[in-house]
A = this chain, B = another copy of it.
Amino acid sequence: MCQHCNYPELLTTARLELTESRLRVLEIIGNNSFPLSAGDIYKTLERSSTINRVTVYRILDLLVDHGIVERLSTGGRSAYYGLAPNAFHQPHPHFYCKKCGQMDCLKPDSLTVKVEPLSKTFPGRIDKVEIRVDGICKNCLKQN
């Protein structure tokens, strides 16, 4: 849950038309404390009113392209989405539970990496560094 982000403003600042669907997608992502899959987001939206699955994918692509939302990979099959780093959100690593598929955010300083040495010598363009911890979450450990 983000106390600071103004979602309509995030959209308009990126010069994106402010539509009901886009705002709802962004709110779901921003108000959730952990990243969600496209399917999760679609199902949540569907509960309150109808929206097309394709529209959700397109909005997600759009938000990612404009740097408002971040697409995260998991140890599993589908991508997860969370608010992209901005003035209120530092980049941070994630934890993926191999058992239940839940993805959690870790504290920004719990794991850090120095990119400079690599970026000085790397011949390509570096856009971002993703750190993901895989394992079994507390809850799933208990169940065994």
Contacts and interface: CB of A to CB of B under 8 A. Distances in A.
Given A111-B113, A118-B106, A134 B124 contact: no
A52 to B, nearest CB: 21
A15 interface: no
Contacts of A127: 98, 134-136
Q: Chain copies in the assembly?
A: 2
Interface stretch (A25-33, A68-76, A82-90): A68-76
A131 to B, nearest CB: 5
Given A71-B75, A75-B73, A113 B131 contact: yes
A1 to B, nearest CB: 21
A112 interface: yes
A138 B113 contact: no
Contacts of A132: 73, 129-130, 132
